[in-house]
Amino acid sequence: MPEAIRSAIRVIPDFPKEGIQFYDLSTLLLQPDLVKQTTELLALYVAEWNADYIAAIDARGFWFGAPVAQNLGLPWVPVRKPGKLPGSVRSQEYELEYGTDTLCIHDDVIPAGARVAIIDDLLATGGTAMATANLIEQLGATVVGFACVVDLANLDFLPNRKNLTQYPIASVLEAEG
């Protein structure tokens, strides 16, 4: 079954820049049965972690975070780029290959002590996931795991990925980067 999911994901070379193999999950969205299967697999992983909340990462993490939360009957929280959340936020800057980026979370939506599972579409260096984990921990909550559709597992020599290994990681597919 993951093979059908794998075939539904289009890999576009040299996007957004030369040398990057971009995993385009928008083609998976065209097949509702496979979205359902992907959601159910992610929900199985997250259920093992006894999460109270799901945090999904802007923007492609929403594609899967929302249905997984619905599947498990859990509340979910969007982690967004700066300037998008209207309330009081916590922010976390993180390093990209070139430059930096920032993610934000409303500071009053997850209670201290809550168990939070993070969902995104794809894990590469782990920088985005780590920044999200830092935001959740700033709120006094606990990160119980990180679930994604595609894990570019062959990139695990990268330093950010090492930091992320303190959390359980679950993916539907592993792929070459």
Question: Binding residue for ligand AMP (CB under 6 A) from 9, 124, 139, 141?
Answer: 124
Task: Give every CB contact of residue 1 below 8 A, 6+ residues apart in sequence.
Answer: 37
Asked if residue 155 lies in contact with residue 177, where contact means CB atoms within 8 angstroms, the answer is yes
DSSP state of 76: E
Of 23 and 76, which has the nearer Cβ to ligand AMP?
23
Place of tokens 């993916």: 171
Segment contacting ligand AMP by CB under 6 A, of 74-82, 84-92, 107-115, 124-132:
124-132
Closest approach, Cβ 68 to ligand AMP, in A, equals: 16
Asked if residue 120 lies in contact with residue 148, where contact means CB atoms within 8 angstroms, the answer is yes
Is residue 151 involved in binding ligand AMP (CB under 6 A)? Answer: no
Please say if 97 is a catalytic residue.
Answer: yes
Q: Give residue 145's region: left, alpha or beta (phi > 0; psi -120 to 50).
A: left
Identify the three-state secondary structure at position 7. helix
Identify the three-state secondary structure at position 5. helix
Closest approach, Cβ 22 to ligand AMP, in A, equals: 4
For residues 6 to 45, the per-residue mask of contacts with ligand AMP, x marking binding by CB under 6 A and - elsewhere, is --------------xxxx----------------------
Closest CA to 110 of 146, 130, 138, 129: 138
Of 97 and 108, which has the nearer Cβ to ligand AMP?
97
Is residue 145 involved in binding ligand AMP (CB under 6 A)? Answer: no
Closest approach, Cβ 154 to ligand AMP, in A, equals: 11
Of 52 and 172, which has the nearer Cβ to ligand AMP?
172
Active site residue ranges: 60, 97
